[in-house]
Structure formats: structure tokens, C-alpha cells
Amino acid sequence: MTPPVLVVAAALVDDLDAPTALLAARRRQPVSLAGRWEFPGGKVEPGEDPEAALHREIREELGVGLTLGTELPGPDDGCWRLSDRYVMRLWLAAVAEGEPEPLVEHDALLWLPRGEWLTVPWLDADVRIVSALAAATETGDRLPDPR
Ligand SMILES: Nc1nc2c([nH]c(=O)n2[C@H]2C[C@H](O)[C@@H](COP(=O)(O)OP(=O)(O)OP(=O)(O)O)O2)c(=O)[nH]1
């Protein structure tokens, strides 16, 4: 069986220590996923370091530099299973440089205030991840430091 492809993505927030706003990105393609919201990111290339891939993808897709925060580990060997073909790793991140714009893969970006993170139609696999992220970043329940 072919091993799943690793996708890396960023939960971009306004403040890594006390996140309130979360950036959602609306896919423009393929048609089957267009109009649904996701965490910006993409596939890790063969031999590529996952964190380097995340910086590359976000630079390509949103035109910004990142400060990476802690990873939100998932229940599938530390990853989040998206489908038979893909698993995802997700990091909290803040914009270090630039202003996010929907350059390539997306046709809209939205900063969602806390309490409204689930109010847009996320890709199916992302719904439980957004819920887990909201729970993990509630005030007083901080994720551990990344390193
Ligand atoms: N980037 C991203 N992909 C997701 C999320 N949730 C989810 O199910 N996926 C799926 C959609 C795609 O089928 C798959 C791969 O992601 P992608 O299409 O963004 O990868 P990519 O940017 O490298 O794509 P491409 O250049 O090859 O077109 O992961 C998510 O939150 N973010």
C-alpha cells in the first residue's frame, strides 16, 4: 500500500501566546474543494524537511514569512489523517513579515475571531482539527513550548 503523503499547514494566529484570531483560507481549486476553507499549506516534497516545506508553502501561497509556534499533534502517530492519501501536520504560526494575501491556491482569506472559528465551511477533515485547536489554545490551557 502506498504510504500517505505528508501535508504541512499553518494555523496562523494573531498572537502565539494567547491566540484569538485564526486565519482561514478559501480554496479556489480543484472544483471538488473550491469554496471550502482550510489551513494554508501543502505537500512536503521528497527529502524536504517538514518545517522548511511549511515556510516554502506559506511564502508561495500567502507571500509572508512565518514565526513557527508549537505543533498541534494529532491522534494518528502525531499526525492528522485527512484521507486515504494524505496526513497532515499543523503548527501554530504568526506572521513575521508581510501581509497575507490569497496569491495562488486561495481566493479569500478571513481572520476568524475566537468563538467563530467553526463558522465557515472547512474541508471535512479539518473540522475536528479546528475544534481541537480551539480547545488547546483556550486561555489558561496553553500548548507546551515547541522546543
Ligand atoms: N493545505 C491543506 N490541505 C488540506 C487541508 N485539509 C485537507 O483535507 N487538505 C487536503 C486537500 C488536498 O487534497 C491535500 C493536499 O493539499 P494541497 O492541495 O494544499 O497541497 P499542495 O499545495 O502541495 O498542492 P499542489 O501544489 O500539488 O496542487 O490535503 C488543510 O487544512 N490544508
Atom 9 in ligand 1: residue holding the nearest Cα:
82
Ligand 1 mean position, distance from CA 140 (Å): 32
Q: Which one of 12, 38, 55 would you pick to mutate in the ligand 1 pocket, going by the greatest count of ligand atoms within 8 A of its CB?
A: 38
Calculate mean pLDDT across residues 64-71.
Answer: 98
ipTM: 0.94
pLDDT of residue 2: 86
**Percentage of residues of the chain with pLDDT beyond 70:** 94
Distances in whole angstroms, Cα of residue 64 to Cα of each of 28, 43, 45, 67: 19, 18, 20, 10
CA distance 34 to 52: 26
At residue 146 the predicted structure's pLDDT band, cuts being 50, 70 and 90, is low
Ligand 1 atom closest to the Cα of residue 41 is 1
Calculate mean pLDDT across residues 19-27.
Answer: 97
Domain assignments of the chain as residue spans, ordered by start? 5-139
| Dihedral class, residue 85 (left if φ above 0, else alpha if ψ from -120 to 50, else beta) | alpha
Calculate mean pLDDT across residues 58-87.
Answer: 98
Other C-beta atoms within 10 Å of 64: how many?
21
| The pLDDT of residue 140 is above 60 | no
Average pLDDT over all residues of the chain: 95
SS (H, E, C) the chain: CCCCEEEEEEEEECCCCCCCCEEEEEECCCCCCCCCEECCEEECCCCCCHHHHHHHHHHHHHCCEEEEEEEECECECEEEECCCCEEEEEEEEEEEECCCCCCCCEEEEEEECCCCCCCCCECHHHHHHHHHHHHHCCCCCCCCCCC
| The pLDDT of residue 118 is above 80 | yes
Ligand 1 mean position, distance from CA 109 (Å): 16
pLDDT of residue 76: 96
The model's pTM: 0.94
List, for residues 99-110, the tens digit of each pLDDT value. 999 999 999 999
Q: Give CATH for domain 5-139.
A: 3.90.79.10
